[in-house]
């Protein structure tokens, strides 16, 4: 697959086939991703690869906390405390596109909750990836980690797999660290579902819009 095609057609997949991903394939994805740039070659990323029982244990623990109404305590604030335009309209359009594809009405709170809970099982994907970064590092290293994470998603597409980056998996980092015996010095950035997409699922039948280049880029000469 051409790099431009992998970028243009990438999307967050929310339905996966019950088809295992081999350890060799996961290693290949990370092998490609590790060539991401980073300031002074710091390579600040750390990845926890969860399959089998480990994946189930973490997913069930996070899902139970959410179902019990436990307040999330992430390592950092992903979204602003007050969201304004144009971001609020984009957020609403994103949610509406997904729920419309699934046939879930806005007033159907229970159906929306059920769909949200699928985050913790990574929408049936056989692999969960969790991305961490050392506490001692600054914001620039978080940018580096983001480029690495993007490489993971593009490398997966090159090997005929799909992904869904998941901030939901970073809601209760202390629980994740405890289960996996990861030190507190590692901050949890986000998770990611990895697997073979179920292209026939209704959730795959929509695409969020992107702003045209002219709306976000300015030329200077």
Task: Note the pLDDT tens digit of each residue in 152-183.
Answer: 999 999 999 999 999 999 999 999 999 999 99
Q: Classify residue 214: in a domain, yes or no.
A: no
Do the domain assignments include residue 158?
yes
Find out whether 10 and 154 touch, Cβ atoms under 8 Å.
yes
Residue 28 within any structural domain of the chain:
yes
For the chain, how far is it from start to end, CA to CA, in angstroms?
35
Residue 59 CA to residue 79 CA, distance in Å, equals: 22
User: What is this structure's pTM?
Assistant: 0.96
Whole domain around residue 144: which residue ranges?
3-77+120-206
Q: Is the pLDDT of residue 1 over 90?
A: no
Does 190 fall in a domain? yes
- Which pLDDT does position 106 carry in this prediction? 86
| Both structure tokens of 199 | 């292209």
CATH number at residue 50: 3.40.109.10
- Evaluate whether residue 221 is within a structural domain: no
In a domain, 91, yes or no: no
Place of tokens 């030329």: 219
Q: How confident is the model at residue 99 (pLDDT cuts 50, 70, 90)?
A: very high
CA 93 distance to own-chain centroid: 19
Give the whole-angstrom CA distance, residue 134 versus residue 41. 15
* Residue 37 and residue 144 in contact, taking contact as beta carbons nearer than 8 Å: yes
Establish if 103 belongs to a structural domain: no
Residue 216 lies in a domain: no
Task: Report d(CA 49, CA 23) in Å as an integer.
Answer: 10
Of 120 and 2, the one with more pLDDT? 120
Phi then psi dihedrals of residue 163, to 5 deg:
-140, 170
Which pLDDT score is estimated for 157?
A: 97
pLDDT digits (tens, 9 = 90+) for 17-76: 999 999 999 999 999 999 999 999 999 999 999 999 999 999 999 999 999 999 999 999
What is the tally of structural domains in the chain? 1
User: Is 129:47 a contact under the CB 8 Å cutoff?
Assistant: yes
The pLDDT, as a whole number, for residue 73 is 97
Q: What residues contact 206, with CB distance under 8 A and at least 6 apart?
A: 97, 98, 100, 101
Scanning the chain, the segments in alpha helix (DSSP H) are: 3-9, 23-33, 52-67, 87-102, 109-117, 139-158, 173-180, 213-216
Residue 197 DSSP symbol: B
């Amino acid at each position: 697959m051409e790099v431009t095609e992998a970028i243009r057609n990438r999307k967050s997949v929310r339905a996966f086939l019950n088809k295992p991903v081999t350890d060799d394939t996961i290693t290949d994805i990370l092998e490609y991703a590790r060539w991401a740039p980073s300031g002074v070659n710091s390579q600040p990323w750390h990845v926890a690869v969860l399959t089998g029982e480990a994946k189930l244990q973490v997913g069930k623990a996070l899902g139970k906390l959410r179902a019990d109404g436990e307040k999330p305590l992430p390592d950092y604030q992903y979204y602003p405390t007050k969201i304004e335009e144009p971001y609020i309209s984009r957020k609403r359009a994103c949610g509406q596109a997904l729920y419309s594809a699934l046939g879930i009405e806005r007033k159907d709170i229970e159906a929306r909750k059920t769909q949200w809970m699928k985050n913790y099982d990574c929408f049936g994907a056989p692999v969960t990836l969790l991305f961490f970064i050392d506490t001692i590092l600054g914001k620039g290293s978080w940018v580096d980690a983001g480029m690495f994470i993007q490489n993971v998603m593009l490398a997966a597409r090159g090997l005929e797999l799909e992904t869904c980056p998941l901030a939901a998996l970073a809601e209760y980092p202390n629980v994740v660290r405890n289960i996996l015996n990861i030190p507190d010095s590692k901050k949890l950035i986000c998770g990611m579902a990895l697997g073979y997409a179920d292209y026939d699922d209704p959730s795959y039948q929509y695409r969020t819009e992107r702003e045209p280049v002219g709306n976000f880029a300015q030329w200077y000469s």
